[in-house]
Structure 1
Amino acid sequence: MITTTGLTKVYQSRDREVTALDGVDLHVREGEVYGVIGQSGAGKSSLIRCVNLLERPTSGTVTVAGQDLTALAGRGRRAGAELRRARTRIGMVFQHFNLLDSRTVLDNVELPLEILGVSGQARTRKAKELLDLVGLAEKAKSYPGQLSGGQKQRVGIARALAGDPQVLLSDEATSALDPETTRSILQLLRDLNQQLGLTVLLITHEMDVVKTVCDSAALMQRGRIVESGTVGELLATPGSELAHELFPVGGTASGPDRTVVDVTFHGESASRPVISQLSRTYNIDISILGAAMDTVGGKQIGRMRIELPGRFEENVVPIGFLREQGLQAEVVDGDPAPKTPAGAPAATAGPAGTTAVPEQTAPPVKEAAK
């Protein structure tokens, strides 16, 4: 539904250039909620404003619903009209609501319909339907100054839906709201995604937003996307920075002859007593150094940092058992990097401090227990 290819945005700042986007490739599938997360200055807002061409990209292409929007830009009046028509299929929700204080709630929602030339009765009927959809039918005659922050954002969402868009863009829509209101707005976005078949692209710096509502996510740093995929895929990817941010765990080895392992639970494995099975099967004492569990997309997902007795070489089989149970296991390095046992596949490098354990099947339990 949304695809950017080689997207670059360079701003001129006095005597120097600032690169906000540096060759961004992004693909958002139809009907999904996709989150782009990153710290301030990562390029998130520039990205979402380039998707609907509120900001014109320096280079690269933006395609929405099969239409190349960048091909409609900068070619005279007729092309401008085509771009405006294309934008009606893209709704946008802003961080600071952008409501007109002099107009009632109903009038604010009617505004884009006025611009589209919809007749008075038709636009009023449509605006009332949208206010009912976002739970604010009783506030139609109120003014923005009489509303709470969450109510203002609901009006902004209703207004963004006025043109019956296929895509809804959300630029930090919950960052100015308290946690409880944030949860209600995120639930509304998910409901609209499911009821209307909307594709939602949201920008955020809050990890809880990704955990609560997103099907897929991308991590941006310094104008580039460094990781992307479904939330499940990212959690199962060895060395994923986003997985570590979503479910942070801490704790260090209690001694030099210990192996610390980060274990990721998702899917059916999250509800099974795998750690206790590991302890009983191999008759080893396991220490839990830290854990973080949550529900993502209706499924329990989490990470746990455990400590096994003995060095890495002595724990290849127990760690293989964890992987056989459908868990992702990453060994946290000590000062010297653990050596790969003779004859075992080489491990793949993760971020600093971790090593992804090579694919390995544990031997049958009866043999392992001998």
Structure 2
Amino acid sequence: MFRVNRTARVVLRLCVAILGVLPWLAGCGGPDVKVPQYIVTNATAKHKRIPGTHVYLALPQGYQPQLQQHMLWKSEREFVQVVELPDSSFADYVANIKQELSKAEGLSLQDLQQTTFNGLPAIFLKQPYRGGLGLESVLLAYGDSSHVTLVLGVYSRLDGKARERVQQALLTAYANPQVPVSPFEDLGFKVNQLDTNYQLLARDGIWAVYSPKGQPLADSYAPLFRVALLPPMPNQTAVQDAGLALIRVYRQEADVQNVQEANTEMNGFFAYENVLTYGYGGREGKALVLLISTPQGLLAFDGRAYADPYDRLKEFVRIAKAIRITAQPSV
């Protein structure tokens, strides 16, 4: 089942997803910002650090931080996201990008602009964004032999002002590797463990993982749960789709025998609740996949247990109801 050491694979899948392979569509929303051969940036009073990263950006008013996504968000059709990949080689990353471009329909190596970012080798790539119709993305990636940083902007292809706004924002990126970054500063929520013994164990990508007393797992059957805060969802169908995506992970790794689904309400918000019965390693387990849709974001709760599963599920529900989203100030 879900583990706390899968972050690298999740990040790699994200990096592959950044390379959309949709064909180019006709038309455009305005000229692109000119990318200089040498990008040189400095921090200004307008720069704000992307929570959970070492990267600062100067963006116009109206963007909201989505903490766990390392994202500055204006809407589903306009945002900027930062991904830092420590212990990664920029040369290897560029080689993978070139390999993907060679296979992508409607894209070629000529679309990849070589530049430098504050003295580091960098690339700049504009392409369709497969996360939504009519969207375009632009990627600034830079690094060295020990790390890679990706700054991804998304905007409506036909909105010239958004295109300029986002592309220009990427060219203001500034990194301070000396600034301390806590691995827990970007949770975006507070978990109240109530009278249970669960404590924070670790971060796994966007997930915060909790185990009894915060202790490392003795085996694959120890009870635990994880929580993530995702961007707000536009409707109940989107919330259900997110829940089904989590259930698919269980189906891939275990023998899911039964799913009890319920559309309900929790703390005054729409909630999509699923109780799974599954077999794993010769044992039967129970899991709670619960999504709570709020205006501030979508709370995703995913917990599982083998011993005393019904008591554990009751604990999970009580803990989920007690989670509160923390303030996310405007940028």
Fold in common (TM above 0.5): no
TM bracket (short chain): under 0.3
| Greater per-residue strand proportion | 2
TM-score normalised to structure 2 length = 0.25
Higher relative contact order (CA 8 A, sep 6+): 2
